[in-house]
């Protein structure tokens, strides 16, 4: 197999069908249909998620996504295997004693409309998104392609490998929603080595960063407020104003104290409230996030935010609900694996520079998968593989240099041969 060509081909196929988190039914079908004939053991549906840790999953959105997949030709048999939950954890046993190694690849997209500019490569080469308002503007199409090509390579080279290998195709990374659910499945509890990577970020083509910094711990919260309706002139004393409560809450949140040990930040991205102009508002919703340089700082920010919500709700005599809809921890790479990735990267022809540290500035729920593995004695590593970008991540003009996929593919291969190779 010409892996260089196949990496590009599959990436472009996936780029056409971007799907938001927990709605990746067409993408998951592609994964299942690729891995099944190769002999991988597939954990799908509720086998690969801990249901009590599923966050930010809207049942209405899920049903619409299933119907879209059905309308596009995904079989009922395949949809039944998913049981309403996207993602997949694939496992291959070489039959020889050795390490248990897992590789993680995220599969979802971002909710932006892809640019219609003629010079945009997906437009020129006719692989732009066919889903309005959804786009692979972060590189997850490339990540999934790397994982599927590695699945082929592992089968073709199984005589060179030992132990067991797991490929984690994770849903809902955007909004850091899927990592907690997959880690809670228990399928990673025997993993000794876990590796993940991201294309592009702040690294150009040919560069690899083995210990990216600035990956912040984060928590995403939805706040639901419920007051009591009343006519604003006839019976205002009977009303409980959820909108007023929301406004005060937002003001207090944005002004709350920060932690003295490092960076902590908060953002309120959405507020919706009210019914009509002549009724005291009954309902209000606030969507917010906090981030922290460490888990300690992030947890401090969450506690502060929750106290503000509770106190303000008490002052306005409204009911409140705080819903956690996403979560990611701080990145803690293992020195041994970071060194291994650096050594392997230096042997890859398409890698021209290896840097130890580089500030990235984002959040990643790979950290929750990693925490699960580390808690049971395993080692973890998350690295960045450079790829020139046409725009920043999550922007509608985003595209990346596809050469980066080959570099990542070769690094994963090299690491597998080091960790699971025959002597």
Distance CA 254, CA 245 (A): 14
CA distance 33 to 316: 54
CB 193 within 8 A of CB 127: no
279, two tokens: 């009724």
Tell me the sheet residues that pair with 195: 103, 381
Distance, C-alpha 192 to centroid of its chain? 22
**CA-to-CA distance for 77 and 370, rounded, in angstroms?**
32
Per-residue pLDDT of the chain (423 residues; tens, 9 = 90+): 899 999 999 999 999 999 999 999 999 999 999 999 999 999 999 999 999 999 999 999 999 999 999 999 999 999 999 999 999 999 999 999 999 999 999 999 999 999 999 999 999 999 999 999 999 999 999 999 999 999 999 999 999 999 999 999 999 999 999 999 999 999 999 999 999 999 999 999 999 999 999 889 999 999 999 999 988 888 888 889 999 999 999 999 999 988 989 889 999 999 999 988 999 999 999 999 999 999 999 999 999 999 999 999 999 999 999 999 999 999 999 999 999 999 999 999 999 999 999 998 889 999 999 999 999 999 999 999 999 999 999 999 999 999 999 999 999 999 999 999 997
C-alpha span between 309 and 250 (Å, rounded): 9
Q: Which residue has the tokens 């291994």?
A: 340
What is the pLDDT, as a whole number, of residue 215? Answer: 87
Question: Which is nearest to 340 in space by CA: 300, 380, 288, 310?
Answer: 380
Q: What is the pTM of this model?
A: 0.94
Q: How much is the CA Rg of the chain, to the nearest whole Å?
A: 23
Which domains does the chain possess? Answer: 3-214+330-420 (3.40.630.10), 217-327 (3.30.70.360)
Q: What is the pLDDT of residue 138?
A: 97
Q: Report helix, strand or coil for 253.
A: helix
Alpha carbon distance 29, 41 (integer Å): 15
Please tell me the predicted confidence (pLDDT) of residue 234.
Answer: 87
* DSSP assignment string, 131-185: STT-B--SSHHHHHHHHHHHHHHHHHTGGGB-SEEEEEEES-TTTT-HHHHHHTT
Say if residues 88 and 31 touch (Cβ distance below 8 Å).
Answer: yes
């Amino acid at each position: 197999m010409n892996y260089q060509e196949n990496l590009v081909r599959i990436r472009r196929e996936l780029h056409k069908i971007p799907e938001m988190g927990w709605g990746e039914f067409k993408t998951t079908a592609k994964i299942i249909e690729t891995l099944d004939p190769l002999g991988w053991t597939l954990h799908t549906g509720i086998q690969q998620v801990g249901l009590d840790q599923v966050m930010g999953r809207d049942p209405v959105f899920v049903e619409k996504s299933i119907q879209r997949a059905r309308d596009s030709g995904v079989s009922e048999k395949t949809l039944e295997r998913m049981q309403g939950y996207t993602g997949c954890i694939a496992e291959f046993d070489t039959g020889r004693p050795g390490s248990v190694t897992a590789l993680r690849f995220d599969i979802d997209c971002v909710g932006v409309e892809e640019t219609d500019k003629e010079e945009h490569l997906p437009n020129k080469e006719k692989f732009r998104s066919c889903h309005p308002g959804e786009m692979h503007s972060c590189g997850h199409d490339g990540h999934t392609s790397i994982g599927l090509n590695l699945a082929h390579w592992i089968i073709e080279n199984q005589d060179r490998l030992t132990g067991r290998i797991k490929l984690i195709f994770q849903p809902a990374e955007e909004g850091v929603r899927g990592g907690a659910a997959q880690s809670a499945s228990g399928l990673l509890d025997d993993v000794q080595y876990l590796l993940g990577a991201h294309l592009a970020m702040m690294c150009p083509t040919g560069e690899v960063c083995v210990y990216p910094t600035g990956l912040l711990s984060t928590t995403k919260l939805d706040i639901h407020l419920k007051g009591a309706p009343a006519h604003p002139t006839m019976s205002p004393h009977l009303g409980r104003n959820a909108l007023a409560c929301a406004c005060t809450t937002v003001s207090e949140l944005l002004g709350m104290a920060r932690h003295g040990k490092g960076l902590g930040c908060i953002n309120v991205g959405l507020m919706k409230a009210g019914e009509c102009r002549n009724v005291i508002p009954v309902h209000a919703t606030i969507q917010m996030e906090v981030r922290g340089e460490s888990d300690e700082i992030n947890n401090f920010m969450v506690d502060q935010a929750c106290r503000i919500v509770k106190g303000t709700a008490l002052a306005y005599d409204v009911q409140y609900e705080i819903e956690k809809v996403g979560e990611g921890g701080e990145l803690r790479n293992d020195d041994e694996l970071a060194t291994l990735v650096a050594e392997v990267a230096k042997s890859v022809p398409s890698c021209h520079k290896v840097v130890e540290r580089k500030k990235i500035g984002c959040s990643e729920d790979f950290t929750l998968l990693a925490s699960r593995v580390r808690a049971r004695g395993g080692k973890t590593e998350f690295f960045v593989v450079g790829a020139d970008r046409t725009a920043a991540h999550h922007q509608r003009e985003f595209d990346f240099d596809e050469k980066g996929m080959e570099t990542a593919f070769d690094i994963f291969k090299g690491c597998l041969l080091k960790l699971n190779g025959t002597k």
